[in-house]
Amino acid sequence: MSEIAGERPHTRWSLITVSYNSAATLAAHWDGERPGDVEWIVVDNASVDGSAETAERLGARVIRRADNAGFARANNEGLEIAAGRYIAFVNPDVRVDYATLPVLERTIDEHDAIVAPQLTYPDGRLQPNGRHAPTYPRKVINRLGFPDWSARNYYVLCEPGVARYATWAIGAAITGTAATIRAIGGWDERYFVYEEDKEFCLDAWEAGHPVIVTGDAQWMHSWARATTSLRLKPWLMTFQGEAKFYAQRPGLFLSKRLWRHRRDPVIAWSGRPVHTAAG
């Protein structure tokens, strides 16, 4: 059961955020004014810290869930009521640069694509939110901490003026048209949290919608990842998500070559520049 509060008419963009005990994070990242044609929908997964109230105070249209449904289902609930032609799924710890929404629109429309803004750390460094094929060896090497290797073999980074194809982009900030996202089925609700962003992007590629990261839209992402700590629960949820993902896509467990032919666009294009008029 859910309760919905707030509404914004004449909507061009719908921003959808999933919160779970995120009150302080929401207050720190969503305190600015939004354009009149942008609505913000927050789906609150039964927080106990006042996240729903904080979101309402900041101007969000809030869906209050009675339980924690997980990231994918909550995103889909937000999508169900979204009025915008364009959708952005945005984490609580991302600060949206509304001035870049036209750039995202043009890139989405020109390429019929799922588009991610280039995320940055608070100090301005580019954050690796675009990625190549998520084979399990790549993930392990990246997690072990070899930044030079990851930069060459796993990350897709875009300076201003550059847009690149990516196999997938992290779910902290992903955009597209509502029609495209609904046509590919939204988010796979078999995932509770972790790995659903990979599935979402691969579903898009398979439906004929490339995934693009653009450096002409840069949004700050604080990125307080739970798996950087030694707490057991986030790691268990990560392994559960990975088990589901690689069970569904076993060819990615060892090598991208076992998954798709090397000339397939999702493999051949990943990391290549996109020729776009969006800049």
H helix intervals, 86-187: 101-111, 136-144, 147-153, 178-183
Q: pLDDT of 119-139, one tens digit each?
A: 999 999 999 999 999 988 888
Find all residues with CB under 8 Å of 253, minimum gap 6, and list them: 135, 136, 246
170, 134 contact by CB (below 8 A): no
* pTM summary value: 0.89
Helices first, then strands: H and E counts in the chain: 10, 13
pLDDT of residue 279: 43
Cα–Cα distance, 257 to 263 (Å, whole number): 10
Element (H, E) at 168: strand 168-169
Beta bridge partners of 38: 13
Tokens representing residue 142 in the block = 């990246």
pLDDT at 172: 98
Predicted pLDDT of residue 11 = 92
pLDDT, averaged in runs of 10, over the chain (279 residues): 53 97 98 96 98 98 97 98 98 98 98 98 97 90 90 95 97 98 97 94 96 98 65 78 88 65 68 72
Per-residue pLDDT at 263: 57
CA-closest candidate to residue 8, choices 48, 52, 38, 43: 38
Phi, psi (deg, nearest 5) at residue 164: -135, 150
Cα–Cα distance, 81 to 10 (Å, whole number): 14
Give pLDDT, residue 12: 97
CA distances from 236 to 52, 204, 211, 227, 269 (A): 27, 27, 28, 10, 33
| Helix, strand, or coil (residue 145) | coil
Annotated domain spans of the chain? 117-168+193-279
Can you give the three-state secondary structure of 208-245, one letter per residue? Answer: CCCEEEEEEEEEEECCCCHHHCCCHHHHHHHHHHHHHH
The two tokens of residue 19 are 């919160």
